[in-house]
């Protein structure tokens, strides 16, 4: 399967090799292989001669270990075992949120004030990772790494946010909050001392202080006030940094890659992301579509393969699973589909108390392990049954292909201008440099997932 002419293939190597590309941001919803993609891109860029640092947020343990980082220590470490013949180097680091936050405080406040902040209970809760802090700190760290200018290229993975867009909003939200009235109100009593503060703020504060005090308790309000007051001197710095990070993301030297899997939710999120990046005038390089399924026998359709299974079935040798698979063709999700939401139980002969056995016979999901083993064809099964198994697996594959293509087409219809790199699904997990290298090759293969699949995984990296 190759991309249709509608979409342009993403030139991954073009992005990685361009000396003007200084930052690559991988974003997308959770579970689409964002971290793996970031690591694979970093490795590929390094082996093509660039000095690269990969900033990961909360990577899976094995993936982190594959790059030689098993500590959350905020220090970029050199990744051993890469091919440095092109003169490149790879560093990797894992974000330590709290440490990053502490460092900002230490860098921007004098010693006493820094201690007051670091010891404040409200600060401790905030910095230790209330959801959202990760986004700020990831962007902060990105800004720091860029400012150090020690690397040609920074590849950054974005946090697994509730919304993949959160990290874009982080700098702005912080900025607008810092200019906000609320913070002035919060700070006023601490700065001016009780009564004077009230008088100064007039009505606003008298409405405020009562409820806040009662609600939060005097001690918590005091903690927050102390915190805010102590942070006061740093706010100018925060604002400046937030603005700088935002501009950095808009810089032409930044390339956003939206990462997705060919699934409805992930691609919907990807579409939002593409639109949002455009609205923020941030440079989108393209879409990376991970885990795309392919077939070397795509000309044999699912329908025809299943029809052939039925022919074999006529000989009475195909087991029950085959019949079930046959009932779930691409356009007919099966006879179990309820057509009327108001009375779905009519399609489901499953009384709450006793209908279990009846349900099992018609369901695809039988789950007892021994039962499952019983169902798969053994090596000495009749040839027709082996053939039926091959056809059935192929039909399933073609159904997955069709579904993925529909999902992808929906995206490309909305955003035909976005270049796409398809990465063929690997049957197993990736957790070493060889695996990352193979992903990198698939990413860079501009002919798309179809031909990437024919590449020998064990072949050495292309010159």
Partner 1 sequence: MSSMSRLHVVSGKGGTGKTTVAAALALALASGGKRALLVEVEGRQGIAQLFETEALPYEERKIAVAPGGGEVHALAIDAERALLDYLHMFYKLGSAGRALKKLGAIDFATTIAPGLRDVLLTGKACEAVRRKDRTGRYVYDYVVMDAPPTGRVTRFLNVNDEVAGLARIGPIHNQAQAVMRVLKSPETAVHFVTLLEEMPVQETADGIAELRAAGLPVGAVVVNMVRPPVLDEAAVEAAAGHRRAEVERALAGALERTGAGGSADAGRTGRVEALVAPLLEEAREHTERLALERRGRADVARLGLPAYELHLLGDGVDLAGLYRMARELRRQGMTGTA
Minimum distance from residue 308 beta carbon to partner 1 (Å): 4
Is 202 a residue that touches partner 1 (CB under 8 A)? no
Is 381 a residue that touches partner 1 (CB under 8 A)? yes
Is 389 a residue that touches partner 1 (CB under 8 A)? yes
The smaller minimum CB distance to partner 1, of residues 23 and 318, is found at 318
The answer to whether residues 142 and 23 touch, using CB atoms and an 8 Å cutoff, is yes
Task: Give the number of other Cβ atoms within 10 Å of residue 410's Cβ.
Answer: 14
The smaller minimum CB distance to partner 1, of residues 148 and 214, is found at 214
Cα–Cα–Cα angle for 287, 77, 65, rounded to 5 degrees: 70
- Binding residues for partner 1, how many (CB under 8 A)? 117
- Sorted by sequence, the CB contacts under 8 Å of residue 423 that are 6+ apart come out as 33, 37, 288, 289, 290, 291, 292, 439, 442, 443, 449, 452
Is 253 a residue that touches partner 1 (CB under 8 A)? no
The answer to whether residues 287 and 422 touch, using CB atoms and an 8 Å cutoff, is no
| Burial of 443 (C-beta count, 10 Å sphere; 0-12/13-18/19+) | buried
Find residue 131's DSSP bridge partners.
none
Candidate ranges 3-11, 15-23, 235-243, 354-362; the one touching partner 1 (CB under 8 A): 354-362
Site for partner 1 in 22-61 (CB under 8 A): 29-32, 58, 60-61
The smaller minimum CB distance to partner 1, of residues 36 and 74, is found at 36
The 8-class DSSP code of residue 368 comes to: -
Measured CA to CA, the distance from residue 177 to residue 161 in angstroms comes to 20
Nearest partner of 168 among 70, 242, 220, judged by Cα: 242
Is 343 a residue that touches partner 1 (CB under 8 A)? yes
Is 215 a residue that touches partner 1 (CB under 8 A)? yes
Is 71 a residue that touches partner 1 (CB under 8 A)? no
Find residue 94's DSSP bridge partners.
56
Minimum distance from residue 127 beta carbon to partner 1 (Å): 11
Candidate ranges 100-108, 176-184, 240-248, 437-445; the one touching partner 1 (CB under 8 A): 176-184
Is 220 a residue that touches partner 1 (CB under 8 A)? yes
Is 86 a residue that touches partner 1 (CB under 8 A)? no
Among 353, 413, 459, 462, binds partner 1 (CB under 8 A): 353
Site for partner 1 in 267-306 (CB under 8 A): 295-297, 299-301, 304
Cα–Cα–Cα angle for 235, 237, 242, rounded to 5 degrees: 95
Is 119 a residue that touches partner 1 (CB under 8 A)? no
Is 434 a residue that touches partner 1 (CB under 8 A)? no
The answer to whether residues 28 and 277 touch, using CB atoms and an 8 Å cutoff, is no
Candidate ranges 8-16, 48-56, 97-105, 400-408; the one touching partner 1 (CB under 8 A): 400-408
Site for partner 1 in 143-172 (CB under 8 A): 160, 162-163
Is 183 a residue that touches partner 1 (CB under 8 A)? yes
Is 323 a residue that touches partner 1 (CB under 8 A)? no
Measured CA to CA, the distance from residue 200 to residue 193 in angstroms comes to 10
| DSSP symbols for 10-76 | P-HHHHHH-TT--EEEEE-STTSSHHHHHHHHHHHHHHTT-EEEEEESS--HHHHHHTT-----S--
Minimum distance from residue 365 beta carbon to partner 1 (Å): 4
Task: Give the number of other Cβ atoms within 10 Å of residue 369's Cβ.
Answer: 7
Q: For the chain, what's the residue count? A: 463
Measured CA to CA, the distance from residue 190 to residue 16 in angstroms comes to 51
Candidate ranges 73-81, 328-336, 412-420, 432-440; the one touching partner 1 (CB under 8 A): 328-336
Is 350 a residue that touches partner 1 (CB under 8 A)? yes
Is 361 a residue that touches partner 1 (CB under 8 A)? no
Among 403, 405, 412, 414, binds partner 1 (CB under 8 A): 403
The answer to whether residues 38 and 156 touch, using CB atoms and an 8 Å cutoff, is yes
Is 378 a residue that touches partner 1 (CB under 8 A)? yes
């Amino acid at each position: 399967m190759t991309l249709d002419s509608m979409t342009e293939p993403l030139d991954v190597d073009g992005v990685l090799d361009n000396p003007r590309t200084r930052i690559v941001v991988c974003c997308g919803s959770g579970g689409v292989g964002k971290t793996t993609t970031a690591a694979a891109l970093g490795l590929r860029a390094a082996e093509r001669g660039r000095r690269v640092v990969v900033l990961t947020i909360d990577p899976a343990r094995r993936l982190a270990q594959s790059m030689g980082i098993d500590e959350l220590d905020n220090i970029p470490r050199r990744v051993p075992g890469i091919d440095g013949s092109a003169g490149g180097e790879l560093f990797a680091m894992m974000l330590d949120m709290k440490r990053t936050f502490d460092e900002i405080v230490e860098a921007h406040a004098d010693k006493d004030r820094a201690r007051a902040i670091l010891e404040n209970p409200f600060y401790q809760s905030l910095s230790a990772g209330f959801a959202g802090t990760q986004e700020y700190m990831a962007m902060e760290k990105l800004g720091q790494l860029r400012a150090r200018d020690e690397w040609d290229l920074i590849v950054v993975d974005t946090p697994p946010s509730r919304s993949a867009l959160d990290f874009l909003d982080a700098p702005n939200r912080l900025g607008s909050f810092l200019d906000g009235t609320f913070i002035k109100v919060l700070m006023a009593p601490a700065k001016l001392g009780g009564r004077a503060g009230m008088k100064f703020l007039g009505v606003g504060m008298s409405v405020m202080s009562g409820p806040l005090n009662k609600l939060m308790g005097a001690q918590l309000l005091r903690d927050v006030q102390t915190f805010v007051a102590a942070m006061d001197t740093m706010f100018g710095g925060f604002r400046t940094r937030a603005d700088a990070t935002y501009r950095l993301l808009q810089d032409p030297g930044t390339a956003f890659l939206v990462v997705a899997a060919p699934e409805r939710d992930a691609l919907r999120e990807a579409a939002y992301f593409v639109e949002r990046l455009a609205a923020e005038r941030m440079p989108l390089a393209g879409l990376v579509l991970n885990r795309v399924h392919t077939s070397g026998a795509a000309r044999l359709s699912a329908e025809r393969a299943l029809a052939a299974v039925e022919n074999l079935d006529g000989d009475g040798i195909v087991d029950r699973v085959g019949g079930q698979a046959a009932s779930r063709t691409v356009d007919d999700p099966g006879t179990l589909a309820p057509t009327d939401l108001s009375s779905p139980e009519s399609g489901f002969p499953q009384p709450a108390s006793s209908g279990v056995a009846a349900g099992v016979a018609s369901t695809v999901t039988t789950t007892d392990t021994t039962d499952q083993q019983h169902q798969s064809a053994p090596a000495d099964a009749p040839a027709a049954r082996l053939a039926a198994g091959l056809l059935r697996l192929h039909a399933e594959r073609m159904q997955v292909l069709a579904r993925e293509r529909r999902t992808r087409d929906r995206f490309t219809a909305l955003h035909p201008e976005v270049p796409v790199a398809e990465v063929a699904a690997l049957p197993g997990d990736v957790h070493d440099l060889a695996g990352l290298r193979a992903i990198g090759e698939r990413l860079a293969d501009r002919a798309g997932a179809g031909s990437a699949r024919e590449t020998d995984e064990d072949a050495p990296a292309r010159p």
